[in-house]
């Protein structure tokens, strides 16, 4: 069980942060293109899920999975999007993604006057805390599962 | 201060805005801190008897004032018993979100100016004229040096 990588997007589609822990295959395109692709897909997926839902929608798009990995999605009311790719052994981690937002992003980016909220995050403290948090998750193992 | 998030956010913006012009900004921030310090020390010492000497006043600063504003006590107080005191706070509230080491070190003075004024104002209201300087060896710890003027 492991975490592959993590993206953080702001409400305008700018990728604020990306880090990876176990990624065996790259996308074959540049990082900017990859971020745009990811954001575009999420945007379309969200509106698709809302439109085509046969019942009243509660949380909307939560995750998708393939035979090899699962992509988890969490969006805050302020438009910040947290996207995490894990392997298939992981269940619903919305509360983990929420913790990343409230305990790490809010604490070390929003409360840091030197971090501009619409630019990629430069704060090393944020990187360190995020990395420590992810490595401490119960479903993160140092060897790719 | 009951609304710590409010104070932190306000202080953040204040430091950022006032320090757009370097020199005047730091002075203005310290002035604001001075008046806040005067008022705060007045309110906090309403019930307590007057201080025997300056060491007691410094101890009040390190304990009660620091707890009220920064939610913790000063970690270390040193003195040379000749009017110079050194207050050390290892997890300074206003710096702890910024960095854990060397990043952003050059921006740190902006975020200390208000507190320097706060200490100065509090002491002046208790009857001691002083100069206060601050330095940051490594984030988020900070040291405030207080030199009491002998009148």
Instruction: Among A114, A127, A132, pick the best mutation site for testing chain B contact (most B Cβ within 10 A).
Output: A114
Q: Does a structural domain hold residue A7? A: yes
Quote the domain boundaries for residue A69.
3-136
Query: Inter-chain contact B98–A112, Cβ cutoff 8 Å?
Result: yes
Q: Does a structural domain hold residue A58? A: yes
* Mean pLDDT of the region A141-145: 59
Query: Inter-chain contact B107–A111, Cβ cutoff 8 Å?
Result: no
Q: Which domains does chain B have, with CATH numbers?
A: 4-148 (3.30.1380.20)
| Widest Cα–Cα separation across chain B | 44
Q: Is the pLDDT of residue A73 over 70?
A: yes
Residues of chain B with C-beta less than 8 angstroms from the C-beta of A124? 99-101, 103
- B1-44: per-residue pLDDT in tens? 445 778 888 888 888 777 666 667 788 888 888 999 999 888 88
Look up the ipTM and state it: 0.71
pLDDT in the model for residue A69 = 92
Residues of chain A with C-beta less than 8 angstroms from the C-beta of B103? 122-125
Any residues with CB less than 8 A from the CB of B50 and at least 6 apart, and which? none
Q: How far apart are the first and last CA of chain A?
A: 5
Helix axes B22-44, B108-125, angle to 10 degrees: 40
Q: Does a structural domain hold residue A67? A: yes
Cβ-based interface (< 8 Å): residues of B facing A: 8-9, 12-13, 15-16, 97-101, 103-104, 107, 111
* Mean pLDDT of the region A55-77: 91
Q: Does a structural domain hold residue A145? A: no
Q: Is the pLDDT of residue B99 over 70?
A: yes
Confidence of residue A142 (pLDDT cuts 50, 70, 90): low
Q: Does a structural domain hold residue A85? A: yes
Query: Inter-chain contact A113–B103, Cβ cutoff 8 Å?
Result: no
pLDDT in the model for residue B20 = 65
Q: Does a structural domain hold residue A53? A: yes
Taking the Cβ of residue A123 and every Cβ of chain B, the question of whether any pair is shorter than 8 Å is answered with yes
pLDDT in the model for residue A139 = 85
**Residue A2, Cα to own-chain centre: how many angstroms?**
14
Query: pTM for the full model?
Result: 0.80
Residues of chain B with C-beta less than 8 angstroms from the C-beta of A102? none
Q: How many domains does chain A have?
A: 1
Confidence of residue B63 (pLDDT cuts 50, 70, 90): confident
DSSP chain A: --EEEEEEE-TTS-EEEEEES--SS--SS-HHHHHHHHHHHHHHHHHHHHHH-SS--SS---EEE-SS-EEEEEE-TTS-EEEEEE-TT----HHHHHHIIIIIIIIIIIT-TTS-TTS----HHHHHHHHHHHHTSTT--SS--
pLDDT in the model for residue A67 = 93
Any idea what the CATH number is for the domain that residue A120 is in? 3.30.450.70
Q: Does a structural domain hold residue A132? A: yes
């Amino acid at each position: 069980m492991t975490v592959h990588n993590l993206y953080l997007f702001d409400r305008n589609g700018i990728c604020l942060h990306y880090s990876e822990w176990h990624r065996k295959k790259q996308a074959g395109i540049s990082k900017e293109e990859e971020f745009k692709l990811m954001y575009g897909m999420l945007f379309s997926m969200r509106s698709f899920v809302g439109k085509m839902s046969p019942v009243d929608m509660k949380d909307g798009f939560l995750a998708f999975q393939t035979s090899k990995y699962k992509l988890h999605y969490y969006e805050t009311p302020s438009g910040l999007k947290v996207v995490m790719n894990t392997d298939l052994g992981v269940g619903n981690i919305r509360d983990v993604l929420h913790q990343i937002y409230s305990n790490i992003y809010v604490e070390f980016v929003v409360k840091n006057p030197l971090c501009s909220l619409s630019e990629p995050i430069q704060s090393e403290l944020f990187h360190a805390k995020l990395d420590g948090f992810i490595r401490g998750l119960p479903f993160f193992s140092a060897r790719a599962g | 201060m009951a609304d710590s998030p409010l104070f932190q956010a306000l202080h953040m913006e204040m430091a950022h805005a006032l320090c757009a012009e370097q020199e005047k900004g730091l002075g203005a921030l310290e002035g604001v801190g001075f008046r806040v310090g005067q008022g705060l020390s007045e309110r906090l010492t309403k019930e307590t008897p007057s201080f025997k000497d300056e060491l007691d006043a410094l101890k009040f600063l390190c304990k009660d004032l620091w707890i009220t504003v920064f939610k913790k006590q000063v970690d270390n107080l040193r003195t040379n018993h000749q009017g110079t005191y050194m207050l050390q706070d290892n997890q300074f509230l206003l710096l702890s979100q910024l960095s854990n080491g060397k990043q952003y070190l050059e921006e740190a003075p902006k975020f200390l100016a208000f507190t320097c004024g706060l200490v100065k104002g509090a002491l002046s209201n208790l009857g001691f004229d002083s100069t206060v300087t601050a330095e940051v060896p490594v984030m988020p710890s900070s040291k405030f040096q207080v030199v009491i003027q002998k009148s």
